[in-house]
């Protein structure tokens, strides 16, 4: 019973974090909208199960990177008003990681969807 209670508390914290991101982070909101559009396209074009797995993995990868970016930005903001020069570098690097994961998702999405669109 104690394990379940501990799990329930952890799950509540995770849901609170996700709720915060959905409510307060514009980029996360936009990425959720794009994810929903991709899922709708997966259904419309009847992509294969293996293609679905790949698409879900890249969707989740982008969302995870955005969450990590938000975490790092909040941690870096704690350092204010004593902003270290590396704070800007850290924020830029995290933003770059979201960009790279988004570009990968776009490329994979094009590779998967173009043949379905052309058919």
In a domain, 21, yes or no: no
pTM of the predicted protein model:
0.89
In a domain, 2, yes or no: no
In a domain, 6, yes or no: no
Structure tokens at 46: 């009847």
Whole-angstrom Cα distance, residue 69 to residue 60? 14
In a domain, 9, yes or no: no
In a domain, 32, yes or no: yes
Give the pLDDT confidence score for residue 51 in this predicted structure.
98
Give the pLDDT confidence score for residue 81 in this predicted structure.
63
pLDDT tens digit sequence for 26-85: 999 999 999 999 999 999 999 999 999 999 999 999 999 999 999 998 888 887 767 778
Q: What is the domain-level CATH number for residue 84?
A: 1.10.287.3610
Structure tokens at 107: 């490329």
pLDDT average, residue stretch 79-108: 89
Give the pLDDT confidence score for residue 56 in this predicted structure.
98
pLDDT tens digit sequence for 3-20: 778 888 999 999 999 999
Q: 103: domain range?
A: 26-118
Whole-angstrom Cα distance, residue 42 to residue 113? 8
């Amino acid at each position: 019973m104690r394990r379940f209670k501990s799990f329930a508390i952890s799950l509540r914290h995770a849901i609170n974090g996700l709720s915060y991101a959905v409510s307060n982070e514009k980029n996360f909101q936009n990425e959720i909208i794009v994810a929903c559009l991709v899922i709708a396209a997966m259904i419309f074009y009847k992509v294969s199960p293996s293609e679905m797995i790949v698409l879900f993995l890249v969707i989740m990868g982008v969302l995870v990177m955005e969450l990590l970016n938000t975490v790092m930005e909040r941690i870096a903001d704690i350092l204010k008003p004593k902003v270290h020069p590396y704070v800007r570098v850290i924020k830029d690097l995290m933003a770059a990681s979201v960009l790279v994961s988004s570009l990968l998702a776009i490329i994979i999405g094009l590779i998967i969807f173009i043949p379905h669109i052309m058919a």
